[in-house]
Structure 1
Amino acid sequence: MPRFDPHPQRRPALISGASSGIGTATARALAALGHPVMLGARRDDECARIAEKIRDEGGEAFAARLDVTDTQSVDEFVARGEEALGPTEIVVSGAGDLRVGRIHEMDPAVFAAQLDVHLSGAQRLVARVVPHMVRRRRGDVVLIGSDVVAAPRPRSGAYNAAKAGVEAMGHQMRMELEGTGVRSSIVRPGPTQTSMGMDMSAEDAGPLLEDWMRWGFARHPYFLRASDIAAAVTTCVTSPRGAHVTLMEVQPEAPLHEQTTKEN
Structure 2
Amino acid sequence: MARFEPHPDRRPALVAGASSGIGAATATQLAAHGFPVALGARRVEKCQELVDEIRAGGGEAIALPLDVTDADSVKSFVHGATEALGEIELLVAGAGDTDFGRIHETSTTEFEQQIQIHLIGANRLATAVLPGMVERRRGDVIFVGSDVALRQRPHMGAYGAAKSALVAMVTNLQMELEGTGVRASIVHPGPTKTSMGWSLSAEKIGPALEDWAKWGQARHDYFLRAADLARAITFVAETPRGGFIANLEIQPEAPLADVKDRQKLALGEEGMPGQ
The TM-score normalised by the length of structure 2 is 0.93
Deviation at 1:106, TM superposition (A): 0.7
Partner of 1:205: 205
Partner of 2:217: 217
In the alignment, residue 247 of structure 2 is paired with which amino acid? L
Partner of 1:22: 22
Q: Which whole-Å deviations, capped at 9, do the CAs of 1:13-55 have from their partners, x for residues lacking one?
A: 1000000010011101110011100000011110111111101
Deviation at 1:202, TM superposition (A): 1.4
Alignment gaps of 5+ in structure 2: 264-275
Work out the CA distance in 1 between the residues paired with 2:64 and 2:171.
Answer: 30
Name the Cα RMSD after superposition. 1.1
In the alignment, residue 79 of structure 1 is paired with which amino acid? H
Query: What SS does the aligned partner of 2:259 have?
Result: coil
Deviation at 1:199, TM superposition (A): 2.3
Q: Which whole-Å deviations, capped at 9, do the CAs of 1:71-100 have from their partners, x for residues lacking one?
A: 100000111111111111000000011111
Partner of 1:147: 147
Query: What SS does the aligned partner of 1:2 have?
Result: coil
* Pairing 1:185-204 to 2, within 5 Å after superposition: 185-204=185-204
Alignment gaps of 5+ in structure 1: none
Partner of 1:236: 236
Partner of 1:96: 96
In the alignment, residue 123 of structure 2 is paired with which amino acid? Q
* Pairing 1:5-154 to 2, within 5 Å after superposition: 5-154=5-154
Work out the CA distance in 2 between the residues paired with 1:12 and 1:208.
Answer: 40
Work out the CA distance in 2 between the residues paired with 1:239 and 1:202.
Answer: 41
Q: Which whole-Å deviations, capped at 9, do the CAs of 1:136-157 have from their partners, x for residues lacking one?
A: 0000000011111221000114
Work out the CA distance in 2 between the residues paired with 1:4 and 1:255.
Answer: 42
Q: Which whole-Å deviations, capped at 9, do the CAs of 1:163-213 have from their partners, x for residues lacking one?
A: 101111111100000000000001011111111012211111111111111
8 Å contact from structure 1 (residues 11, 88) kept in 2: yes
Partner of 1:175: 175
Query: What SS does the aligned partner of 2:191 have?
Result: coil
Query: What SS does the aligned partner of 2:15 have?
Result: strand
Work out the CA distance in 1 between the residues paired with 2:112 and 2:157.
Answer: 10
In the alignment, residue 20 of structure 2 is paired with which amino acid? S
Deviation at 1:108, TM superposition (A): 0.6
Shift in CA distance, 200/157, structure 1 to aligned 2, threshold 3 Å:
farther
Partner of 1:164: 164
In the alignment, residue 104 of structure 1 is paired with which amino acid? H
Work out the CA distance in 2 between the residues paired with 1:208 and 1:177.
Answer: 38
* Pairing 1:246-257 to 2, within 5 Å after superposition: 246-257=246-257
Work out the CA distance in 2 between the residues paired with 1:30 and 1:172.
Answer: 26
Partner of 2:272: none
In the alignment, residue 71 of structure 2 is paired with which amino acid? T
Query: What SS does the aligned partner of 2:205 have?
Result: helix
Bigger CA drift: 156-165 or 116-125?
Answer: 156-165
Deviation at 1:231, TM superposition (A): 1.0
Identity, in percent, stands at 57
8 Å contact from structure 1 (residues 143, 167) kept in 2: no
**Which one has a bigger Cα radius of gyration?**
2
Query: What SS does the aligned partner of 1:158 have?
Result: helix
Work out the CA distance in 2 between the residues paired with 1:125 and 1:192.
Answer: 24
The TM-score normalised by the length of structure 1 is 0.97
